[in-house]
Amino acid sequence: MDFVKNTFEAIKARAHYLRNWRLFYKWSIAAGLVGVLGGIGALLFSYTLDAITPLFDSVAAALPDPRLIAIIPAAGGLLVGIIRHVWMPEAFCSPCATDAMIDIIHEDGGRSKFKVPFVTILTASITLASGGSAGRECPTALIGTGFGSISSTIIEKLHLDKLLGFSFTKDDVRVLAVCGAAAGIGAVFRAPIGSALFVTSVLYIYGMEYDLVLPSMISSATSYLLFSVFYGFEPLFNAPFIWAFNVFDLSVVLLIGVLASLVGILYLKVFYGIFRRFRSMAMPDWLKPALGGLLMGILVLFIPRVWGMGYGTIQDIIDLQLALPMLLLLVIAKILASSLSIGSGGAGGVIAPSLFIGAALGGAVGTMATQLFPGAEAHPTLYVIAGMGALYASVGKVPLSTAIILCETTRNYTMIIPLIVATTAGFLASGTSTIYESQHADATRETADILRRVPVERVMAKDPFVLREDTSAQDVLRAVGTSGHHGFPVVNDDDHLVGVVSWTDARALPYEERATTPVSEIMTRELIWLRPTDSTRTALDMIEHNKIGRVIIAEPDGKRVLGVVTRADLINAYSEWISAT
């Protein structure tokens, strides 16, 4: 008996081992494809930005008076507004590109319109090339998500899953969208590990989707390698110092984390105040980015360093090139500049501005700390980078991935402990305040919901009792007695679903009309149905929202009825799953 039991356990262990290899094989192909396409998308974005920037630079150089520089971001905003109005008007409703990316993953199941990545490449390139105070990381994440959706379409249309021997479901479409975002971020940040963690955690204020880390890592690493072949493997920022354990440094970065949360909350209030102000303006949406660009351009006349992405200024702050008054001024100025550029409808992201603001804050706190304690063993460069991480962690709610990304972008992994201290402090002190309105609250609660993970085809009653269009109302009532159900799908002569009828529909007729009235005259034609791959949570939500007793399960085209699932079916199945676990 023990021999049989031990053999069974060995087979189970072996099956689990093989299952892991099958998953690795599957994601090596699917996520690898996304990594290649996402890397190409990042290259297209970078090449487009590199091609458009000289055009705006030449216009700026030709201005008769340097004080007219404000018309450059205004002109860029006007072009972006027109392009969005014509091809992607829904983009005006998203505060930034990462919000649009999160919506695609959470609300659309990873399905993105084909035009989204290409329109985003063009509009984001124009915004940044014309001096918009925004970043390229959020647009690249959205571009990557679009290419992740395209990858799913390629797999489905070419039947690559069947040709190469792996399964591909509706849920995998969402996974590839996440992989696409990781590919985009991993390429432009030169940070494959942190980017994979970033996209699996930025979807939520708390927690992350751990089961998506492997495919995201494959996609991000592939994209990073492809992108770096063309743009080099050099770090994004240079921070050449070695950090050893130091209580003074940890105390300073902890203080920076707390202060960054306060500045982050200020950033959110200004950003969303300007965003909502522009949304409520009584003027066409396509004109609003031009107005935002003009106001930002006027600010540039007084503080030129808020122009563009600001990576050069961030490096200057890291190199301790700016004085304390300028650092404090840049904190406020960059908040205003990025809020005007992005909040008015410009195509850009908030990651680079957040890093800029955080760098200025960290540099200011570090400068004051070293002046107050001249004898302390300090690392001022560390304080700048800690400020970058703490500020973005406080508004983006991604403390761990931000710390790792900054280690990767500087190739300085000795900073990991103080960076985690700073980002965790910023994250905790800022509470639930987030710059991404599309973030869901808690990943743990959502992934713990077993109904989200089980397709409705595992619960539905197959070969359901259906009625024809010419069935009489009286026969409907008889069917209630023989089947025990109170509602039925109705099909036509081609067995295509055309409606649904319930016993209340039939009973509402006068008694003398029930025998002669066909179902086609009393049935409901506004169909509520699901595909077999939809989740049981979707089925239960649909039943509760529409106050119905059952949902029809049909083929993807909605024509042939495959089954019916009732509230009782879902409750019984849920009870069995809970007891089994």
Top pLDDT among 523 and 503 is at 523
**Amino acid in position 397:** K
Count Cβ neighbours within 10 Å for each residue of 233-269 and write b for 16 or more, e otherwise: eeebbebeeebeebeebbebbbbbbbbbbebbbebbe
Residue 564, phi then psi, degrees to nearest 5: -140, 140
pLDDT in tens, 210-221: 889 999 999 999
Q: Do domains 2-231 and 247-447 have the same CATH topology?
A: yes
Q: Which range (296-300, 401-405, 441-445) has the least confidence?
A: 441-445
* Cα angle value 155/200/264 (rounded, 5°): 140
Distance CA 521, CA 294 (A): 61
Question: Which tens digit of pLDDT belongs to each residue from 127-183?
Answer: 999 999 999 999 999 999 999 999 999 999 999 988 888 888 888 999 999 999 999
Banded pLDDT at 192 (limits 50, 70, 90): very high
Which alpha helices (H) appear in 62-136, and where do they start and end?
71-87, 97-107, 116-129
Residue 199 has pLDDT above 90, yes or no: yes
Q: Domains of the chain: which residue ranges?
A: 2-231, 247-447, 451-580
CA-CA distance, 260 to 393, in Å (whole number)? 9
Q: Which of 570, 474, 439 is nearest to 100 (CA)?
A: 439
The band of 565, judged by pLDDT with boundaries at 50, 70 and 90, is confident
Using the predicted structure, report yes or no on whether residue 15 has a pLDDT greater than 70. Answer: no
- What are 45-69's pLDDT values in tens digits? 999 999 999 999 998 888 888 888 9
Nearest to 133 by CA among 292, 273, 2: 292
Q: Which residues pair with 472 in a beta bridge?
A: 518
Chain segment 459-490, per-residue pLDDT in tens? 787 767 788 888 888 887 787 777 767 778 88
Whether 109 shows a pLDDT value over 90: the answer reads no
pLDDT number for residue 6: 60
Please tell us whether the domain made up of 451-580 is placed in CATH 3.40.47.10. no
* pLDDT band, very low/low/confident/very high, at 24 (cuts 50, 70, 90): confident
348, 120 contact by CB (below 8 A)? no
Q: Name which of 447, 459, 445, 446 is nearest 530 in CA terms.
A: 459
How many residues does this entry show for the chain?
581
Per residue in 365-380, pLDDT (tens digit) is 999 999 998 878 888 9
Q: How is domain 2-231 classified at the CATH fold level? A: Clc chloride channel (1.10.3080)
Tell me how far apart the alpha carbons of residues 141 and 34 are, in angstroms, rounded to a whole number: 12
In the numeric block, the tokens 């998203």 are attached to 94
CATH class of the region 247-447: mainly alpha
How far is residue 205's CA from residue 437's CA, in Å, rounded to a whole number?
Answer: 10
What pLDDT, on the 0 to 100 scale, is given for residue 72?
94
Provide the token pair at 413.
Answer: 């992994």
Of 182-186, 279-283, 445-449, where does the model show the most confidence?
182-186
Q: Write out pLDDT tens, residues 88-98.
A: 988 888 888 88
Mean pLDDT computed over 100-128: 92
Q: Both ends of the chain: CA-CA distance in Å? A: 26
Asked whether the predicted pLDDT for residue 402 surpasses 70, the reply is yes
Q: What per-residue confidence (pLDDT) applies to 581?
A: 47
550, β-bridge pairs: 566
Q: How many CB atoms lie within 10 A of CB 86?
A: 10
Query: What is the pLDDT confidence band of residue 16, given thresholds at 50, 70 and 90?
Result: very low
What is the predicted pLDDT for the residue at 543?
Answer: 79
**Cβ–Cβ under 8 Å, residues 499 and 524:** yes
**CA distance linking residue 404 with residue 424, whole number of Å:** 12
| Least confident piece of the model among 99-103, 164-168, 392-396 | 164-168
Residue 352 and residue 338: Cα distance in Å, rounded? Answer: 9
423 has a pLDDT exceeding 50:
yes
Confidence check: pLDDT of 8 > 70: no
484 vs 550, higher pLDDT: 550
Q: What's the DSSP call for residue 66? A: G
CA pseudo-torsion sign 210, 215, 216, 221: positive
d(Cα 113, Cα 104) in Å, to the nearest integer?
10
Residue 290 scores a pLDDT above 80: yes
**Average pLDDT along the chain:** 87
